[in-house]
Amino acid sequence: MDEILIVDDDQGMREFLEIMLTREGYSVSTASDASKALARCQKEKYDLIITDLKMPKMDGISFLRKVKDIAPETLVILITAYASGETAVTAMKEGAYDYIEKDFQIDDLKRIIGNAMASKGVKRNDALFRKQVEDAVGFGNMIGKSREMLKVYSTINKISDTGSTVLILGESGTGKELAAKAIHENSSRKLMPFVVINCGGIPENLLESELFGYSKGAFTGAYQDKQGLFEVADGGTIFLDEIAELPPLLQVKLLRVVQEKSFRRVGGAEDIRVDVRILSATNRDLGEYVKKGQFREDLYYRLNVIPLRMPTLRERKEDIPILARHFIEKYSREFSKEIKTISAYALELLLQYPFPGNVRELENIIERSVAFETSNIILPENLILANDNDMDTGAPFARYEIPDAGISLNDELAKLEKGLIEMALLKARGSKAKAAELLKISYDSLHYRSEKLGLRA
């Protein structure tokens, strides 16, 4: 049974926590001050200590330091009357597991304690942290231990060596390419090429020659034969992302490759045979595209022999802490920072956020947070969550603080304008015209504003 020690000079708080945690199945002891608690720590071993920050004679931070000297493996959670950023940084530097405000919700405390007990015995050094992340990886670079992801891993394990075509379905940012790579790397083709092509990212007039290559003299500038990606992938796997964007003419040519394993280069007269496994992916409802005549029905059934659906991050929220810590470690190393973890409140914000952009959006949020963070812990004020619902209600400013010295309104509005233009360009995949539509301004206005803000647009 997990042993917890409660340290607080408030008898009512001690009794409340003792009753609540005992009902949760923990073995609970209490102490009315830090000196008595230290005496207990000399004699007994505790898995977790929950201590008040403000106590007579010895405060919570000083007590924390002494506990870490006596029992470095014991986890400590601080209870504070007001959890300021400075308090959090000091606590984390001294080795606290986490902190929580005194007017906490019971469910919040239970969650923090549960997470602490789950991590019990894990030393937070880089080597073991990396091992913890690797242990959570089922296939390739996919991370998560949720039931939904375990289903994905199981399916990939079963289908990797079948050779069948696979249609990977899921919203943007769910990891469809990672799933495709995992299928390839767990198949007998793993030593052969894995070729990725984005059917929506290449202009239609270039896509055919990219896929199938061209013969010398096929068009102006074709000075020699060029292999297409199907030839490059011979013996291996080709992954056709955004397959719904494939133009009708190329749908016909792709159908032939699937059926006959052969094709002709642009301007070529000879059939070229290839041994390629075809994986494809889409974030669209391809069945609806078929009904509307936008996608060939025969090609759809050829590609959809085995469907694999990637869950949204909303469906696997229990994976958010694992993913967040993985990205913190990744970008801390990349930016040469010493950020080790994320505060409980920041993590709670992530757990409540709907993540329309899924795992890719989570990674972007953590990358920005690590870039801006100056302490060794990700705090709520450095999370930038682009929630459309919040934008309607003004919630992005709920945590915005105006310092006593004031701010420059023009500078802050310029930052907001710059951020919105960058988001629009990202959503429009670099298309200035589409970005202008999203922002409901003219193309010329977008160009002028971008130049004024120093953006390349």
For residue 212, what are its two tokens? 């199938």
Query: Within a domain: residue 130?
Result: no
For the chain of 457 residues, list the mean pLDDT of each consecutive stretch of 10. 88 91 91 92 91 88 90 87 60 76 80 72 41 49 86 85 90 94 91 93 85 80 83 94 92 90 85 93 93 92 91 93 91 89 86 90 92 84 62 41 74 80 72 85 84 69
> Among the three residues 285, 309, 333, which one is the final residue of a domain in this structure?
309
pLDDT of residue 1: 67
Domain that holds residue 278: 147-309
Q: Are residues 30 and 177 in the same domain?
A: no
Q: Residue 325: how many CB atoms within 10 A of its CB?
A: 23
Number of domains comprising the chain: 4
Cβ-based neighbours of 38, under 8 Å, separated by 6 or more: 63, 66, 67, 70
Q: What is the CA 167 to chain-centroid distance, rounded? A: 23
**Residue of 47, 32, 15 lying closest to 113 (CA atoms):** 47
Query: Within a domain: residue 139?
Result: no
Q: Does the reported pTM lie above 0.85?
A: no
Query: Within a domain: residue 128?
Result: no
Q: Which residues of 14-45 are buried (b: 16+ CB within 10 A; e: fewer)?
A: beebbeebeeeebebebbbbbeebbeebeeee
pLDDT of residue 294: 93
Q: Do 37 and 56 touch, CB atoms closer than 8 A? A: no
Separation between Cα atoms, residue 446 and residue 205, nearest integer Å:
28
Q: Are residues 279 and 161 in the same domain?
A: yes
**Residue of 339, 400, 401 lying closest to 367 (CA atoms):** 339
**Residue of 274, 281, 269 lying closest to 239 (CA atoms):** 281
DSSP state of 24: T
Q: Do 346 and 380 touch, CB atoms closer than 8 A? A: yes
